[in-house]
């Protein structure tokens, strides 16, 4: 009964989303405010319906109702409760339902927080959101119904893939989807602006918090996924340039560009057309990612979700929204020329460079991801484009980007002075060179040394910007403190964002520069060296988990004479579905992780793989700092407080504008 109610709510949601699209569109055409306002009524209703539908599916999973196909195929009565719940989105149908749930959540948020938006803009935004909802809800009902029943219900379910039985499943997909789907807001705002023909700095200010919210969730969602891969795959890799990963990286790259170009638009009323185009493209990349993942076009090992009907359906959705958005842009954007000129040495130009490099990297990722598929479709030739390709292209595009960041921070709007900026940055340059030199002295390779230099450069430059704006050293300390205390939160947000980037870059370079690997055949009692650590193989034993049997090995970790603790690694044998997984034993030390994996036994000796992964936590720590930075920015009064009036003059930071 509850399942049918969920099903029914989903079908109702289709009609409500059609109303959310249709009514305000007609209202906008006929200038009928009542019709426009219907979007405000539809948005929360749509959210309530989809949330109800989603809860019904959760209920079916928690209650292990195996008469529901989706539950039968993906759940098992012996599964721990957390995986019964997170298993709801650990499958195609449920994850699409989560997708539209988050979409409708954003719609409801516009209704809730959008009181400061003019009615026509708000209803146009909600109408586009309604259109997106309608297509995806229709997709779910038509091709991926999670509420379908089985006529002869089986007694037991097939269980969830053991690799998905991990706490990360509870948070990774919701975070990532919030990011993906959140960019629909930027898209809807862009389309609404084109339809209404009104695009100004106020628009940029309205769209920025939504973009920022999507971006921080995407950032941390990608990071959680990478961390998950790190501890799951059994050797400590954290990024594979896999098409599915690339699918999430592309909207992140253009989304990052969008955040920066929207600043130019907000403050300088420039780069309008470009910002609108980026908003459209960023969501198109989110849709493309959904297509790549959900259509089965990547097939090979991906045995899930390779139903061609679904693929074609999503392809139609992706092309419609992308082509529609870009087409509308081409038609209406001619009116959007920037109104302010700027010199080639200026903060605007540095942000243009930022956008150039980010979109070029995104373009390379796009070509590298789609090329093998396109080539195979056109000529039948099968090639692979893997990590070595991306490492030798995208990584080199990022180097000048990192070099440019601190300069951008120190250049004035409109017309800056590069020499002056360089002089002010000399402190950061010294720190960067020392860091890079130290890295190379300790055996880092050239590329890694360069990356560490640039990471330290961005880190020091970002911190120094705040200090310099607060007149550190050039004014009494009390004055500096006072100035820092009165800075906008947006300033700290940006600084934290750049610090996070730097930390991630240093982490990536450090992890590959000083990675230690030991492959050994060990008997109980044997000891191996691993960098500064010693690992002693203590014992092996069997134990039972909630729905698996585990064969575990314990290792004592020591550094010289100092006992650090025990690392446990195991192999888990699941019954439903029958599958063996490896659980790496990881001990996080201040400078890196000790990572141990138990292998096969042969005559009382075990194959052991042990790694020391230095700096690896920095990779995700940096993402977390970026997340916090975005959060701090979102709390900035200027974004939070309703600003119904046009931003005639964007307020400058309270700190002195860089002198020229």
Question: Within positions 147 to 176, which residues make up the interface with another protein, using CB under 8 A?
Answer: 161, 163-164, 169, 172-173, 176
Nearer to another protein, 41 or 229 (CB): 229
Least CB distance to another protein at residue 244 (A): 5
From 113, 304, 541, 652, residue interacting with another protein (rule: CB under 8 A) = 304
Between CA 184 and CA 43 the distance in angstroms is: 15
The DSSP string of 147-160 is T-B-SS--SS----
The DSSP string of 29-53 is HHT-HHHHHHHHHHHHHHHHHHHHH
Judged by CB under 8 A, the chain residues 595 through 634 that form the site for another protein are 597, 599-600, 602, 607-609
Judged by CB under 8 A, the chain residues 519 through 538 that form the site for another protein are 519-521
Judged by CB under 8 A, the chain residues 197 through 216 that form the site for another protein are 197-200
Contact predicate 441/433, CB 8 Å:
no
185: tokens are 């807001």
**Side-chain half-sphere of 88: how many Cα atoms within 13 Å?**
25
Binding flag, residue 326, another protein (CB under 8 A): no
**3-state DSSP assignment of residue 384:** coil
From 116, 320, 339, 543, residue interacting with another protein (rule: CB under 8 A) = 339
How many residues lie near another protein (CB under 8 A)?
100
Q: Which residues pair with 601 in a beta bridge?
A: 606
Nearer to another protein, 284 or 349 (CB): 349
Judged by CB under 8 A, the chain residues 501 through 520 that form the site for another protein are 519-520
Part in contact with another protein (CB under 8 A); list of ranges 231-239, 446-454, 542-550, 652-660: 231-239
Nearer to another protein, 309 or 383 (CB): 383
Nearer to another protein, 571 or 589 (CB): 571
Nearer to another protein, 305 or 460 (CB): 305
Binding flag, residue 540, another protein (CB under 8 A): no
Binding flag, residue 359, another protein (CB under 8 A): yes
Least CB distance to another protein at residue 561 (A): 28
Print the binding letters for residues 559-578 with another protein: x by CB under 8 A, - otherwise: ------------x-------
* Residue 602: Cβ-neighbour burial (10 angstroms; 0-12, 13-18, 19+): exposed
Q: Which H or E run contains 643?
A: none
Q: Which residues pair with 581 in a beta bridge?
A: 572
What residues have CB less than 8 Å from 397, skipping those under 6 apart? 357, 360, 361, 364
From 302, 523, 539, 640, residue interacting with another protein (rule: CB under 8 A) = 302
Between CA 389 and CA 371 the distance in angstroms is: 12
> What is the CB neighbour count within 10 angstroms for residue 642?
11
Least CB distance to another protein at residue 1 (A): 28
Q: Is the peptide bond before 577 cis (omega within 30 degrees of 0)?
A: yes
For the chain, give the number of residues: 660
Nearer to another protein, 64 or 306 (CB): 306
Nearer to another protein, 200 or 307 (CB): 200
Per-residue DSSP letter, 68:
B
Least CB distance to another protein at residue 184 (A): 15
Binding flag, residue 386, another protein (CB under 8 A): yes
Judged by CB under 8 A, the chain residues 91 through 150 that form the site for another protein are 91-92, 95
Contact predicate 624/618, CB 8 Å:
no
Nearer to another protein, 111 or 274 (CB): 274
Per-residue DSSP letter, 104:
H
Part in contact with another protein (CB under 8 A); list of ranges 6-14, 250-258, 373-381, 634-642: 373-381
Sheet-wide strand order for 585-589: 516-522, 605-614, 592-602, 585-589
From 51, 397, 429, 484, residue interacting with another protein (rule: CB under 8 A) = 397
Least CB distance to another protein at residue 339 (A): 6
Least CB distance to another protein at residue 93 (A): 10
Least CB distance to another protein at residue 298 (A): 7
Part in contact with another protein (CB under 8 A); list of ranges 196-204, 280-288, 455-463, 500-508: 196-204
Between CA 490 and CA 472 the distance in angstroms is: 20
Binding flag, residue 8, another protein (CB under 8 A): no
Least CB distance to another protein at residue 383 (A): 5
The DSSP string of 485-536 is HTS-HHHHHHHHHHHHHHHHHHHHHHHHHS-EEEEEEE-TT-EEEETTEEEE
Between CA 361 and CA 621 the distance in angstroms is: 23
Judged by CB under 8 A, the chain residues 259 through 298 that form the site for another protein are 271, 274, 292-294, 298
Pairing of strands 533-544, 548-559: antiparallel
Binding flag, residue 453, another protein (CB under 8 A): no
Nearer to another protein, 339 or 588 (CB): 339
Judged by CB under 8 A, the chain residues 239 through 258 that form the site for another protein are 240-245, 247-248
Between CA 67 and CA 65 the distance in angstroms is: 5
Distance in angstroms between the alpha carbons of the first and the last residue of the chain: 71
Of 459, 378, 382, nearest in space to 622 by CA = 459
Nearer to another protein, 40 or 245 (CB): 245
> What is the CB neighbour count within 10 angstroms for residue 542?
10
The DSSP string of 375-428 is HHHHH-------HHHHHTTHHHHHHHHHHHHHHHHHSPSSS--HHHHHHHTHHH
Binding flag, residue 196, another protein (CB under 8 A): yes
Judged by CB under 8 A, the chain residues 415 through 444 that form the site for another protein are none
> What is the CB neighbour count within 10 angstroms for residue 380?
7
Nearer to another protein, 12 or 610 (CB): 610
């Amino acid at each position: 009964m509850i399942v049918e109610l969920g099903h029914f709510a989903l079908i109702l949601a289709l009609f409500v989303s059609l109303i959310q699209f249709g009514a305000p569109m007609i209202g906008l055409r006929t200038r009928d405010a009542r019709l426009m306002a219907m979007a405000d009524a539809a948005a929360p209703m749509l959210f309530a319906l989809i949330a109800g539908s989603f809860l019904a599916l959760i209920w079916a999973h928690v209650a292990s109702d195996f008469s529901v196909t989706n539950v039968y195929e993906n759940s098992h009565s012996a599964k721990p409760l957390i995986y019964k719940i997170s298993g709801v989105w650990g499958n195609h149908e449920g994850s699409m339902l989560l997708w539209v749930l988050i979409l409708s959540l954003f719609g409801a948020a516009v209704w809730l927080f959008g009181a400061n938006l003019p009615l026509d803009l708000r209803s146009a935004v909600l109408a586009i959101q309604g259109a997106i909802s309608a297509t995806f809800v229709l997709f779910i009902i038509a091709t991926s119904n999670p509420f379908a029943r089985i006529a002869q219900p089986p007694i037991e379910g097939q269980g969830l893939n053991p690799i998905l039985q991990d706490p990360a499943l509870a948070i990774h997909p919701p975070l990532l989807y919030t990011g993906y789907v959140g960019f629909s807001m930027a898209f809807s705002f862009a389309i609404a602006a084109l339809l209404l023909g009104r695009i100004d700095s106020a628009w940029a200010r309205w769209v920025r918090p939504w973009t920022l919210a999507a971006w921080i969730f995407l950032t941390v969602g990608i990071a959680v996924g990478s961390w998950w891969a790190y501890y799951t795959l059994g050797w400590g890799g954290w990024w594979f340039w896999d098409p599915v990963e690339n699918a999430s990286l592309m909207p992140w790259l253009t989304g990052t560009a969008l955040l920066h170009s929207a600043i130019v638009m907000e403050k300088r009323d420039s780069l309008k057309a470009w910002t609108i185009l980026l908003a459209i493209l960023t969501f198109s990349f989110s849709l493309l990612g959904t297509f790549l993942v959900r259509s089965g076009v990547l097939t090979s090992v991906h045995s899930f979700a390779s139903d061609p009907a679904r693929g074609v359906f999503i392809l139609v959705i992706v092309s419609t929204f992308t082509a529609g958005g870009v087409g509308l842009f081409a038609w209406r954007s001619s009116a959007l020329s920037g109104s302010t000129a700027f010199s080639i040495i200026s903060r605007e130009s540095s942000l243009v460079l930022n956008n150039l490099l980010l979109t070029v990297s995104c373009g390379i990722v796009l070509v590298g991801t789609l090329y093998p598929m396109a080539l195979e479709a056109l000529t039948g030739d099968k090639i692979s484009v893997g990590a070595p390709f991306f490492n030798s292209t995208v990584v080199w595009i990022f180097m000048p980007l990192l070099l440019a960041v601190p300069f951008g921070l120190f250049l004035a709007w409109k017309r800056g002075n590069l020499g002056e900026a360089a002089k002010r940055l000399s402190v950061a340059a010294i720190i960067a060179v020392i860091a890079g030199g130290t890295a190379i002295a300790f055996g880092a390779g050239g590329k890694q040394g360069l990356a560490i230099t640039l990471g330290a450069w961005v880190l020091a430059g970002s911190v120094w910007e705040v200090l310099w704006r607060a007149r550190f050293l050039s004014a009494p300390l009390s004055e500096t403190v006072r100035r820092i205390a009165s800075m906008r939160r947006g300033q700290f947000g940006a600084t934290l964002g750049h610090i996070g980037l730097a930390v991630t870059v240093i982490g990536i370079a450090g992890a590959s520069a000083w990675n230690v690997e030991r492959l050994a055949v060990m008997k109980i009692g044997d000891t191996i060296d691993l960098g500064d650590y010693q690992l002693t193989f203590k014992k092996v034993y069997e134990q039972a988990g909630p729905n698996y049997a585990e064969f575990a090995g314990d290792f004592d970790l020591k550094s010289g004479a100092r006992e650090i603790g025990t690392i446990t690694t195991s192999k888990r044998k699941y019954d439903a579905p029958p599958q063996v997984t490896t659980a790496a034993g990881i001990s996080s030390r201040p400078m890196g992780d000790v990572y141990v994996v138990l292998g096969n036994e042969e005559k009382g000796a075990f194959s052991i793989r042990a790694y020391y992964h230095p700096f690896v936590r920095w990779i995700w720590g940096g993402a977390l700092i970026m997340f916090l930075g975005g959060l701090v920015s979102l709390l900035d009064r200027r974004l939070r407080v309703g600003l119904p009036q046009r931003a005639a003059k964007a307020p400058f930071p309270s700190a002195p504008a860089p002198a020229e």
